[in-house]
Amino acid sequence: MVVSYTFVAIFLALIGYIVYFNTRLSEEFQNSPYNKRQDSYEEQVVRGDITASGGEILAETQIDEEGNETRVYPYGNLFSHVVGYTSKGRSGLESSENYHLLTSHAGAMEQVQKELQDEKNMGDTIVTTLDVKLQQTAYDALGGNNGAVVVMEPDTGKILAMVSKPDFDPNTLNEIWDSLVSEKSNTNLLNRATQGLYPPGSTFKIVTTLAYMRAGGNLNDFYFDCQGEVTNGGYTIHCYNNNVHGAEDFAAAFAKSCNSAFAQLGVDLDGDSFRSTAEELLFNEKLPITIPYSKGSFVLDDSTPDALAMQTAIGQGDTVTSPFHMALITCAVANGGNLMEPYLVDRIENYNGEQVKKYTPSAYRELMSADEASVISELMQGVVESGTASRLSGKNYTAAGKTGTAEHGDMSGLPHAWFVGFSNVDNPDIVVSVIAESAGTGSDVAVPIAEQIFDAYYN
Amino acid sequence: MINIIVELSKYLIVILMTLFTFQCFTVFKKSDEEDRKYVLRKQIILLLFIDTAAYLVMYLQTMDFNMLIMYLQVAAYVVVIQVIYRIFYKKASMLLVNDMCLLLSCGFIILSRLDFEMAEKQFAIVVVGTVLSLLVPVIIRKVKLLKDLTWLYGIVGILLLAAVLVLAPVTGGANLALKLGGVSFQLSEVVKITFVFFMAGILRRNTGFKNVVITTAVAGAHVLILVLSRDLGSALVFFITYVVMVYVATKKPLYALAGLGGGAAASVLAYYLFGHVRQRVVAWKDPFSVYETNGYQIVQSLFAICAGGWFGTGLFNGSPDTIPVVTQDSIFAAICEELGGIFAICMLLVCMSCFLMIVNISMKMSNKFYKMIALGLGTEYAFQVFLTVGGTTKFIPLTGITLPLVSYGGSSVICTIVMLAIIQGLYILREDEGVQLERQKQERIQRQEWEDQPSQSKRTGAAGEKSLEEKIEEETEKSLRW
């Protein structure tokens, strides 16, 4: 009897799983860029439009009199990475939403009629969360720099803008393809916002602070006398430009981004618990996004030598991450510790504009407690009030953030400029994450870029 | 026009299949013999309708006249089997026969869709297997020696498996088959049967600790050789069968727990020792990370299942041919794609009803040897279904094993048909025993009456005490009518 019950239970579990798979998991597989079955839909369906949140068309299929289809991207380079392309393979939303673009929810009668007339049905429209104005501002603000900008709503998870440079014009992809892929050094196709991996520099001090708090450190009792450098295990870390910050409390060390104080924390912290804090903030973890991305990487344990521990604590060393990942951490800080599931597609409509499916905000995970988030938020406000991002103070909005100036390569060139932050600190509106490659300090280069975006949002 | 027929028959097939499945379970509730027979007859009609609809669609889609010929063959097979069983094996479980016919039909349909030549071959094999299997119930009853060959089963099993390990060429990462004169033969399928006979034989009388240890050693040898031949699916099937049979024979949960614990430990060990075990686990956890190599098959299977949804794309409207080894390991995915998720789930439920029927038969047997055989074969069947379907749907790691009766594969189909025939043979015995017990009761009453009369000689009593087996034989003879 036991045996037959056990087997019946196993069978029912299997059937339950198949039902679950068909209702819940199947969309992920249907949307997979590896799924070649979708290609056969193209014979029956005209690829649908992709629009911005305000209805502006970002991609559409035009059909000439002879029935030839051309995919047109009215904004050219502006949305090149996030919207992507669909000739020469697929990328961005063109890839991740391929299934929906090639599915038609036109009226049943119309579909039958077209089928009988051997005509193609019209695919569904993807209405994204992207905001043309913010995207344009971010694109212009990044200017001639290589790098990326991500703008998100922390309380919903909506991605409002995602810029990556260098870029390309998807309208002319067929012509420029050979030059894009022939040279190994050409990285125009890479979406730096999600796939670019950079040392996080001082923006990582958010993580170090959290690790310190979790190790039982009391920020109010903290005191450090900065001599402009600190030496452990025969290795010396300097403050930026060898500035001497003198006696400082924790808020001041964070606001002025004092490398010496944080490097010392790195030595004092237990490597394993430091790593587990970083992993709770999604380092070495999968990120919740449907377009391709690279995982952030954090390697540290008990046996790490002091030199590397110090570098790691100030966001150098072997740690790398993407601008999108830093945006997610900032979103959690801005949203009381809760990370909302980030998303790019607001809803799907049929080609007549009738809603087929609506995506609503959902919580992804609590990255930190509400108390921790509020402490870090306060420290980040200090950065704007009296620290490296003071340029954002005295505006018609309040802001909080953290700058970063990340050394890279052989350290001969200019550092990468970082900024992560949010506006309207009491009830945060948007989170901005900026990186400008080899462009200078976070304070001088990245903060002004973020400033233009905040200004555009409020004015 | 053709499109509309294809589309409509898609739903029709799903409805017919659902009804069939429903009746697999409601038939247990019917207490009246006539009602039960009525339901079972209805199932045959449903089954023939499913075949008709499916082959009509395939004919319309391909306009290949061979489809119609194949349809006639399949329909004829179903009808002939029914007639043969109704004439010669009146007491057999018709539910099990119906289930077998349905699963074979599913196999024929999807194989005709995927590779017509394979379907033709499969049909020939099924016919040969069925003819062989018709002799099995007779052998079970006639040959009493079967019980006493315990060690022969064990030794033959190990030798056959070892032969495969040593002689067989590597195919698809696993030493699965041995080629004999152009016909590849999966000996592990035959060993599945001898293994159960061995286990039943050795545990029949003695379930002491020493005997369990001996059993464990022999079973372990089977499993180890299979793991070395990289046939992980079969290894698992043998292992679970061993655990279940020892547990049922000894009724000691401790043995079952120890067995499962040991199995878990061995799995972990195998994970670290063998690269091919690790690869499977990686491909299961994140198939996209090894998409180009080991993850390809599972990902393609999942794409197929998604494409099918609940009602399927309809026959010849999907692209199941993109799945590697689709006619064997991944046939379930092909069925999901073209016949739909509901159809596939129904098919699983039919497999479950098969298993329940087998357990039912086992529980009602009074002879421990036969009881254990039915249970062992049922376990092998059920677990194999679970492994292949679970593997294809990414519920568990893919083990590369066939779906009994549905997948293409000569030795697998023949052995499964023979397995079911063995169980049918046992079922007939059980029915005989039932009649026997009834008569014994009556005789006992009569005897008491006789004993009340002192003049009655004791000879009559002796006649009534014929050994049970002799009586069974008599009954069988009658039931066989040949």
pLDDT, tens digit, 9 for 90 and up, residues B405-456? 999 887 889 999 999 999 988 888 776 666 677 777 777 777 777 766 655 4
In this predicted structure, the answer to whether residue B461 has a pLDDT above a threshold of 50 is no
Lowest-confidence region among A154-158, A170-174, B187-191: B187-191
Closest Cα in chain B to A15? B345
Quick check: A288 and A297 in contact, CB under 8 A?
Answer: no
**Interchain proximity B291–A34, CB inside 8 Å:** yes
Q: What is the least distance, in Å, from the CA of B201 to any CA of chain A?
A: 20
Distance, CA of B217 to CA of B208 (rounded, Å)? 15
Residues 6+ apart with CB under 8 A from B251: none
**Host domain of residue A206:** 201-344+360-458
Q: What is the least distance, in Å, from the CA of A97 to any CA of chain B?
A: 16
In this predicted structure, the answer to whether residue B476 has a pLDDT above a threshold of 80 is no
- For B207, list phi and psi in degrees, rounded to 5: -115, 30
Distance, CA of A304 to CA of B411 (rounded, Å)? 58
pLDDT at position B172 is: 45
Closest Cα in chain A to B359? A4
Distance, CA of B229 to CA of B221 (rounded, Å)? 12
Q: Retrieve residue B285's tokens.
A: 């956890």
B183-200: average pLDDT: 82
In this predicted structure, the answer to whether residue A219 has a pLDDT above a threshold of 50 is yes
Closest Cα in chain A to B349? A11
The answer to whether A10 faces chain B, any CB pair under 8 Å, is yes
**Interchain proximity B348–A15, CB inside 8 Å:** yes
Q: Packing angle between helix B341-364 and helix B2-26, nearest 10 degrees?
A: 20
Whether residue A339 lies inside any domain: the answer is yes
Instruction: Give me the amino acid identity at A6.
Output: T
Can you tell me which residue has the tokens 């700058």?
Answer: A403
Distance, CA of B219 to CA of B456 (rounded, Å)? 55
In this predicted structure, the answer to whether residue A294 has a pLDDT above a threshold of 80 is yes
pLDDT at position B353 is: 92
pLDDT at position B116 is: 92
In this predicted structure, the answer to whether residue B472 has a pLDDT above a threshold of 60 is no
Task: List Cα–Cα distances, A184 to A96, A189, A320, A321, A410, in angstroms.
Answer: 25, 11, 21, 22, 20
Task: List Cα–Cα distances, A241 to A313, A438, B409, in angstroms.
Answer: 18, 17, 74
Q: What is the least distance, in Å, from the CA of B458 to any CA of chain A?
A: 43
A405-424: average pLDDT: 90
Distance, CA of A384 to CA of A51 (rounded, Å)? 35
Which of B319, B352, B379 has its CB closest to that of A11? B352
Q: What is the least distance, in Å, from the CA of A151 to any CA of chain B?
A: 29
Whether residue A33 lies inside any domain: the answer is no
In this predicted structure, the answer to whether residue B466 has a pLDDT above a threshold of 60 is no
In this predicted structure, the answer to whether residue A194 has a pLDDT above a threshold of 50 is yes
Please compute, for residue A148, the number of CA atoms within 13 A of its CA located in the half-sphere on the CB side: 27
In this predicted structure, the answer to whether residue B380 has a pLDDT above a threshold of 90 is yes
pLDDT at position B174 is: 47
Counting one residue from chain A and one from chain B, the pairs whose CB atoms sit within 8 A come to 90
A156-167: average pLDDT: 95
pLDDT at position B433 is: 66
A217-228: average pLDDT: 87
Average pLDDT of the residues of chain B:
84
Instruction: Give me the amino acid identity at A196.
Output: G
Distance, CA of B464 to CA of B440 (rounded, Å)? 8
Within 10 Å of residue A329's Cβ, how many Cβ atoms? Answer: 29
In this predicted structure, the answer to whether residue B316 has a pLDDT above a threshold of 70 is yes
Residues 6+ apart with CB under 8 A from A11: B348, B349, B351, B352, B355, B382, B385, B386
pLDDT at position A187 is: 84
Q: Is B100 exposed, middle or buried (0-12, 13-18, 19+ CB in 10 A)?
A: buried
Distance, CA of B86 to CA of B481 (rounded, Å)? 12
Instruction: Give me the amino acid identity at B49.
Output: F
Distance, CA of B84 to CA of B424 (rounded, Å)? 13
CATH number at residue A431: 3.40.710.10
Closest Cα in chain A to B321? A37
Lowest-confidence region among A180-184, A365-369, B73-77, B424-428: A180-184
Task: List Cα–Cα distances, B472 to B139, B200, B338, B466, in angstroms.
Answer: 14, 20, 48, 10
Nearest residue to A376 (alpha-carbon basis) of A352, A411, A400, A404:
A400
pLDDT at position B469 is: 54
- For A356, list phi and psi in degrees, rounded to 5: -105, -40
Lowest-confidence region among A21-25, A311-315, A431-435, B158-162: B158-162
Whether residue A253 lies inside any domain: the answer is yes
**DSSP percent split of chain A into helix, strand, coil, nearest 5:** 40, 20, 40
Residues 6+ apart with CB under 8 A from A185: none
pLDDT band at A358 (very low <50, low <70, confident <90, very high): very high
Domain count, chain A: 1
H-type helices in A341-425, by residue range?
370-386
H-type helices in A258-408, by residue range?
259-268, 271-280, 306-313, 323-334, 370-386
Q: Retrieve residue A359's tokens.
A: 């995506």
Whether residue A143 lies inside any domain: the answer is no
Residues 6+ apart with CB under 8 A from A179: A186
Interface test with A, best of B254, B302, B343, B383 (most A CBs within 10 A): B302
Residues 6+ apart with CB under 8 A from B347: B17, B21, B102, B103, B106, B335, B406
**CA atoms A13, A19, A20, A22: torsion sign:** positive
pLDDT at position B480 is: 46
pLDDT band at B202 (very low <50, low <70, confident <90, very high): confident
Nearest residue to A293 (alpha-carbon basis) of A367, A358, A359, A344:
A344
The DSSP result for B145-209, as a single string, is GGGG-HHHHHHHHHHHHHHHHHHSPPBTTB---EEETTEEE-HHHHHHHHHHHHHHHHHTT--SH
Percent of chain B with pLDDT over 90: 34
Whether residue A172 lies inside any domain: the answer is no
pLDDT band at B386 (very low <50, low <70, confident <90, very high): very high
Quick check: A168 and A77 in contact, CB under 8 A?
Answer: yes
| SS3 assignment, position B444 | helix
pLDDT at position B460 is: 47
**Interchain proximity A14–B302, CB inside 8 Å:** no
In this predicted structure, the answer to whether residue A281 has a pLDDT above a threshold of 70 is yes
DSSP single-letter state for residue A310:
H
Percent of chain A with pLDDT over 70: 99
Whether residue A71 lies inside any domain: the answer is no
pLDDT band at B365 (very low <50, low <70, confident <90, very high): confident
In this predicted structure, the answer to whether residue A8 has a pLDDT above a threshold of 80 is yes
**Interchain proximity A3–B244, CB inside 8 Å:** yes
pLDDT at position B344 is: 95
Nearest residue to B215 (alpha-carbon basis) of B372, B359, B335, B423:
B372
**Interchain proximity A29–B306, CB inside 8 Å:** yes
Q: What's the pTM value of the predicted model, to 2 decimals? A: 0.71
**Interchain proximity B305–A26, CB inside 8 Å:** yes
**Interchain proximity B303–A35, CB inside 8 Å:** yes
Which of A11, A17, A27 has its CB closest to that of B393? A17
Quick check: B238 and B192 in contact, CB under 8 A?
Answer: yes
Whether residue A133 lies inside any domain: the answer is no
**Interchain proximity B303–A17, CB inside 8 Å:** no
Strands A246-248 and A235-238 come out as: unpaired
For residue A166, cis peptide bond before it (omega within 30 degrees of 0): yes
Q: What is the least distance, in Å, from the CA of B425 to any CA of chain A?
A: 21
pLDDT at position B162 is: 80
Set of chain B residues whose Cβ sits within 8 Å of the Cβ of A37: 303-304, 307, 318-319, 322
Whether residue A303 lies inside any domain: the answer is yes
Q: Which residues of B touch A (CB under 8 A)?
A: 3, 244, 247-248, 288, 291, 299, 302-307, 309-310, 318-319, 322, 341, 344-345, 348-349, 351-352, 355-356, 359, 363, 375, 379, 382-383, 385-386, 389-390, 393-395
Q: Retrieve residue A192's tokens.
A: 């730096």
**Interchain proximity B309–A22, CB inside 8 Å:** yes
